[in-house]
Chain A
């Protein structure tokens, strides 16, 4: 058992926090969309990949400063989210009566259509960009080494940390202090109630997709530049981890998803002390199984906890 002050261990915790924050950004998209539609959006991992490629094209084409890259990628992600909603979700949401809203068949149809869109999107990206890892211009990588006493960090750690904290804070502000946020929470709480006091539910759902997807896309480019790898299948693993974090967090609790994502990131990172890195996925699935057995509502969900 490593000592808590062991530099290597501290290093792994820091890496784990970065990883966990990335999972959190992705998990929020899942959670927001699940909260409002009661459906898992299987194409969310592809939004992450789209974000990474959009950022790469920008960097190769124009090399703007990082902040501009992230903001533009978020805009692309938002647009991709809106398109996804149109393509995979809205056609199946034709019926808005109560029976359809509760219908399992409608939910499963939506889930499958998002899965279908995710497969098509992934294969199209593989066809256009090739299945290989892409070479990222050295200057754009977030791998400058920063030494802090015994710890060796990269600027990527700090940038991911800073960007995630800003985005998470912005999300909370948006949800609790703006009209869009209030509408999203209202629709998540009770669709029919919201509709009958004048909330345009379709527009609110579109806004939710835009917001969730912009965070997912930002995570994609940040991780791409931090890891130095951008490839068409890169969204799969973070998508699964974020899904696990959402389930552990109680399906529709944002704070729950964020805390579980951090827990997951740190556990995976620290576990490389004990396990070879090939086994680290075991941690996520192990935690998921344990959570589902002992806390079927998730760690932070009680009953119908919502956004």
Chain B
């Protein structure tokens, strides 16, 4: 294993009954990469994502993150190892303020003992709030810190969820279809934002339906079709790959939008 490999997926499979949702996928993500994962509806993107983040246990194969096998780990433990994710259908805390939402990310990452959790650690408290502010500033929501999350617009909620993930100070950030439901202008802003996160040294896996976004910002693109990885290369190479064109785009008709 090379030193800078952050995430190593080996022969990973997951079957639901007779359906092999993820079929023998092997892949890796290195430190500092911005990788896209695309595939048509039902290709197994979400399942692969859930396998990687410890949400669903695999039927076979392994996921190794920062040298540790994630088998049997709970999602909060995976998160504390440095993997943060956002959700396609947002999972923010609607009845908490924007600041508290993001603080939860910082708390989760730092953890706390029972005594600390109830009574103390002013120093830790300072660290939590510093992390929360810095995450809010990175996504541009600092001016809305006191607002209830439920009152934010849909687009801002997406950034809130990213801020919450950033507050865990992740080594790997996985974004699940962040462009879903955004218009072209918002998608362009999002592309710019993801690039800036990457430029700051973040390692990002972008799971997307929107081909345009992935092709325009990612260094490398993996393509899933029917649960199997059919391509893994630079965007231009992938776009010209006949197997991808056939599976994803459809040669004759583009009915899979």
Contacts and interface: CB of A to CB of B under 8 A. Distances in A.
Interface of A: 97, 174, 178-180, 182-183, 185-186, 189-190, 192-201, 207, 304-307
- The 6 lowest CB-CB distance pairs between A and B, nearest first, are A198-B108, A193-B91, A189-B93, A198-B79, A180-B117, A197-B108
Nearest to B167: A197
B91 A190 contact: yes
B39 interface: no
13 contacts: A97-B56, A182-B100, A182-B107, A183-B117, A186-B93, A192-B91, A193-B87, A195-B74, A195-B75, A196-B91, A197-B105, A197-B167, A306-B94
B103 interface: yes
A123 B91 CA distance: 43
Nearest to A180: B117
Given A179-B116, A182-B100, A182-B103, A197 B79 contact: yes
Contact of B100 (A185, A192, A207, A305): A185
A183 B79 contact: no
B181 interface: no
A178 B84 CA distance: 23
Nearest to B124: A179
Given A174-B118, A183-B104, A185-B100, A198 B76 contact: yes
B244 interface: no
Contacts of A306: 94-95
Contact of B93 (A178, A193, A195): A193
B117 A198 contact: no
Chain A CB count within 10 A is highest, among B93, B109, B114, B168, for B93
A197 B168 contact: yes
Contacts of B74: 195, 200
Contact of B107 (A97, A183, A193, A196): A183
Contacts of A182: 100, 103-104, 107
Interface string B79-113: 11000110100011111100011011101110110
Contacts of A189: 92-96
A223 B85 CA distance: 48
A201 B74 CA distance: 10
Given A180-B117, A182-B104, A196 B95 contact: no
B220 interface: no
A195 B165 CA distance: 12
A54 B248 CA distance: 67
B229 interface: no
Given A182-B100, A182-B107, A196 B93 contact: no
A201 B100 CA distance: 17
B117 A197 contact: no
A192 B87 contact: yes
B103 A198 contact: no
B132 to A, nearest CB: 11
Nearest to A98: B55
Given A190-B94, A207-B114, A207-B117, 17 more contacts: A179-B116, A180-B118, A182-B107, A185-B100, A186-B104, A189-B95, A193-B93, A193-B164, A196-B55, A196-B76, A197-B108, A197-B167, A198-B76, A198-B80, A198-B105, A198-B107, A199-B104
A305 to B, nearest CB: 7
A3 B85 CA distance: 63
B95 A201 contact: no
B38 to A, nearest CB: 22
